[in-house]
């Protein structure tokens, strides 16, 4: 492999993972599946917008994949595609046609995402069934709803950055370029600044982290409550922290730019806002743990991945306290410490959320169950592997090992890191192989899985009141009415002698208030 292929692969790996796997996989798939089902709607507000959104995503995927086959290679300037590197084909081969295709693909992706998000927002606001007030919404829906709002606020800014970059590349404008001499030639650009691009990029880039995380956390909330047979602890605090995170996530982007050359005073402000965001994140983690406490945990594969998410979210989130501190970022910025941090907090956590969601809602999607034992094996190997890869990685970052290096042999100083790198590679190999269990299980179960019952996890939310077999309009008869929040698990009657519904530790949302039941959370 030569250096340009390495840079191309790492750029495309980042782009595909962040946008195409996690953003589309979580917001795209699960929002579409769950929003109508959980709020009690027959369909999304606009089926037409949905269809366009889907096809745009499809086209965008094709464009990004086709960029692989461009002669000079696909975009290679890192998934953040900072100019001037990404603007000048003279600077790196991938910044020619490959980069144009990247911009086209991302532009289409943004259009797709915006249409999808608007549709989610409208659906949640307008199509909730009778009785489904905002404070009776499952946290999944809250998460999808707020994520869509973040997307609508921040994706257009990336679009602007992309368009300006396109103009610099193709029409000779100088938004991001100035004073450049390359390949024996002075370029005519004058007066632009790459720092401006960085601001625009990270104005999306940081919220993007939460665009992939919040849905994962929403899914986790649902799964942890259901499988703990307990209400989610602090429902209102959870909503408040989702909102706080959403707001704060739009004012912290500068923590990616502490050493970009921007005014150090700005650095101080961004340190402040960044460490603030640790607080609602912490509240969420504590609430999950309290939900586990004194539960009756049904350790289904989805539950394991959800618990795994809480674990990696905490580990990764804690190192954010180091990176968010402008002083400390000076020395670990752009090293493997950052790679370790964001993989745990965003990559692995969101991936766990995605997998948990698949295991949990597979019966809803395909009317069949996934094999639980394969799920267990999949989880434990992945859990061991993910920590095995990314925990030691912090330390090679602390040694000063830069990211995006094709090889380290030019620095004998790093020779003694080789063993650790091998260890990490072994874990990476194992983790990757474990995903084969999932792929096999997924495909096999679609056709040969055990037939699912209507409500296999004994859950309260409305999607489990629909028939196993998909029908148009979701419910055969009338849409169910909602009489309660979704977390009445193990709720006792007034005299504390029996569950509200005797012999059943859950009360679905469409069950009216029982005679001997105390009303709660209104």
Partner 1 sequence: MIALLIILVAALLGITIWQISKIFKLSQPVESDDSQIANNKDNEKQGKLFLVFIVFLYGLMIYSFWELSKFYAPGASDHAAEYDQLFFISLGLIMFVQVIIQFLIHWFSYKYRGQKGRKALFYADNDKLEFIWTIIPVITLAALIIYGLFSWSKIMNVEETDETLVIEIYAYQFDWRARYSGEDRTLGEANVRFIEGVNQLGLNESDPYAQDDIITTELHLPVDRPVLFKFRSQDVLHSAYFPFFRSQMNVVPGMITQFGFTPTTTSKEIRNSEYMVEKVRNINEIRENNDNLGPDEKEYEFEYYLLCNKICGVSHYNMQMKIVVETEEEYQKWIEEQQSFGELTAQN
Taking the complex as a whole, how short is the minimal distance between the CB of residue 185 and Cu ion, in angstroms? 19
206 contact, one of ligand HEM, partner 1, Cu ion, none, CB 5-8 Å limit per kind: Cu ion
Query: What residues contact residue 442 under an 8 Å CB cut-off, 6+ apart?
Result: 358, 362, 370
**Cβ atoms of 328 and 393 closer than 8 Å:** no
Query: What residues contact residue 123 under an 8 Å CB cut-off, 6+ apart?
Result: 35, 36, 39, 41, 44, 45
**Which of 56, 48, 24 is CA-nearest to residue 122?**
48
123 contact, one of partner 1, ligand HEM, Cu ion, none, CB 5-8 Å limit per kind: none
Candidates 300, 349, 459, 474: give the one binding partner 1 (CB under 8 A): 300
- Please return the burial class of 269, using the count of CB atoms within 10 Å of its CB with bins 0-12, 13-18 and 19+: middle
Token match 């590679």: residue? Answer: 425
Task: Mark residues 183-222: x for contact with Cu ion by CB under 5 A, - for none.
Answer: -----------------------x----------------
13 near ligand HEM (CB under 6 A) = yes
Query: What residues contact residue 433 under an 8 Å CB cut-off, 6+ apart?
Result: 381
Question: Which tokens is 183 given?
Answer: 């390949």
| Contact positions with ligand HEM (CB under 6 A) in 424-453 | 428, 431-432
119 near ligand HEM (CB under 6 A) = no
79 near ligand HEM (CB under 6 A) = yes
SS (H, E, C) 330-367: HHHCCEHHHHHHHHHHHHHHHHHHHHHHHHHHHHHHHC
Taking the complex as a whole, how short is the minimal distance between the CB of residue 3 and Cu ion, in angstroms? 13
Which residue number, 25 or 192, has a Cβ lying nearer to partner 1?
192
Which residue number, 29 or 174, has a Cβ lying nearer to ligand HEM?
29
**Cβ atoms of 161 and 200 closer than 8 Å:** yes
**Dihedral of CA 209/210/211/213: which sign?**
positive
Taking the complex as a whole, how short is the minimal distance between the CB of residue 220 and partner 1, in angstroms? 12
431 contact, one of Cu ion, partner 1, ligand HEM, none, CB 5-8 Å limit per kind: ligand HEM
Candidates 71, 419, 515, 519: give the one binding partner 1 (CB under 8 A): 419
**Which of 403, 442, 399 is CA-nearest to residue 419?**
399
From 157-165, 186-194, 344-352, 467-475, span contacting partner 1 (CB under 8 A): 186-194
From 5-13, 49-57, 321-329, 453-461, span contacting ligand HEM (CB under 6 A): 5-13
Which residue number, 131 or 400, has a Cβ lying nearer to partner 1?
400
234 contact, one of ligand HEM, Cu ion, partner 1, none, CB 5-8 Å limit per kind: partner 1
| Contact positions with ligand HEM (CB under 6 A) in 372-411 | 389, 403-404
Task: Write the DSSP assignment of 14-72 as a string of letters.
Answer: HHIIIIIIIIIIIIIIIHHHHHHHHHT-SS-S-HHHHHHHHHHHHHHHHHHHHGGGSTT
494 near ligand HEM (CB under 6 A) = no
Which residue number, 176 or 506, has a Cβ lying nearer to ligand HEM?
176
| Contact positions with Cu ion (CB under 5 A) in 298-337 | none
357 near partner 1 (CB under 8 A) = no
What DSSP state is assigned to residue 457?
Answer: T
Task: Mark residues 461-500: x for contact with partner 1 by CB under 8 A, - for none.
Answer: --------------------------x-xxxx--------
- Please return the burial class of 367, using the count of CB atoms within 10 Å of its CB with bins 0-12, 13-18 and 19+: middle
Which residue number, 403 or 444, has a Cβ lying nearer to ligand HEM?
403
Rg of the Cα atoms in the chain: 24
Candidates 116, 267, 347, 353: give the one binding partner 1 (CB under 8 A): 267
In degrees, rounded to 5, the angle at the alpha carbon of residue 265 between the alpha carbons of residues 259 and 270 is 70
| Contact positions with ligand HEM (CB under 6 A) in 253-312 | none
């Amino acid at each position: 492999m030569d250096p340009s292929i390495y840079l191309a692969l790492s750029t495309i790996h980042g782009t595909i993972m962040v946008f195409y796997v996690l953003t589309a996989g979580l917001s795209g798939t699960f929002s579409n599946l769950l929003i109508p089902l959980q709020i009690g709607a027959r369909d999304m507000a606009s089926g037409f917008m949905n269809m366009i959104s889907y096809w745009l995503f499809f086209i965008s995927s094709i464009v990004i994949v086709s960029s692989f086959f461009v002669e000079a290679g696909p975009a290679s300037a890192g998934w953040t595609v900072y100019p001037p590197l990404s603007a000048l084909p003279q600077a790196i081969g991938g910044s020619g046609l490959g980069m144009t295709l990247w911009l086209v693909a991302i532009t289409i992706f943004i259009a797709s995402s915006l249409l999808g998000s608007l549709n989610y927002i409208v659906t949640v606001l307008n199509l909730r069934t009778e009785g489904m007030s905002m404070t009776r919404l499952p946290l999944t829906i809250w998460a999808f709803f707020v994520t869509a709002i973040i997307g609508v606020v921040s994706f257009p800014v990336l679009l602007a950055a992309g368009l300006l970059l396109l103009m610099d590349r193709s029409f000779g404008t100088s938004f991001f370029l100035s004073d450049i001499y390359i390949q024996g030639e002075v370029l005519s650009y004058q007066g632009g600044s790459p720092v401006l691009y960085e601001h625009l990029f990270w104005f999306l880039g940081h919220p993007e982290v939460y665009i992939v995380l919040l849905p994962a956390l929403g899914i986790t909330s649902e799964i942890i409550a259901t499988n703990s047979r307990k209400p989610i602890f602090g429902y209102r605090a959870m909503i408040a922290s989702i909102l706080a995170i959403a707001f704060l996530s739009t004012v912290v982007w500068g923590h990616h730019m502490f050493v970009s050359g921007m005014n150090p005073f700005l650095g101080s402000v961004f340190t402040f806002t960044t460490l603030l965001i640790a607080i609602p994140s912490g509240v969420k983690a504590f609430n999950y743990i309290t939900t586990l406490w004194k539960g009756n945990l049904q350790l289904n594969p989805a539950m394991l991945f959800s618990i795994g998410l809480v674990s990696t979210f905490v580990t990764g989130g804690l190192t954010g306290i180091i990176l968010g501190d402008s002083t400390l970022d000076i020395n670990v910025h752009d090293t493997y410490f950052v790679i370790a941090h964001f993989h745990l907090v965003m990559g692995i956590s969101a991936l766990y959320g995605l997998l948990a969601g698949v295991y949990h809602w597979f019966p809803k999607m395909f009317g069949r169950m996934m094999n639980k034992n394969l799920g267990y094996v999949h989880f434990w190997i992945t859990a061991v592997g993910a920590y095995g890869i990314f925990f030691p990685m912090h330390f090679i970052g602390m040694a000063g090992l830069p990211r995006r290096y094709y090889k380290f042999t030019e620095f004998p100083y790093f020779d003694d890191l080789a063993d650790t790198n091998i260890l990490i590679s072994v874990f990476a190999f194992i983790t990757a192989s474990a995903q084969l269990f999932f792929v096999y299980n997924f495909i096999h179960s679609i056709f040969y899985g055990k037939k699912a019952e209507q409500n296999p996890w004994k859950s309260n939310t409305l999607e489990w009141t629909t028939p196993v077999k998909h029908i148009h309009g979701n419910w055969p008869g009338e849409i169910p009415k909602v009489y309660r929040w979704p977390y009445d698990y193990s709720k006792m009657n007034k005299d504390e002698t029996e569950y509200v519904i005797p012999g059943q530790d859950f009360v679905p949302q469409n069950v009216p208030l029982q005679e001997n039941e105390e009303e709660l959370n209104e």
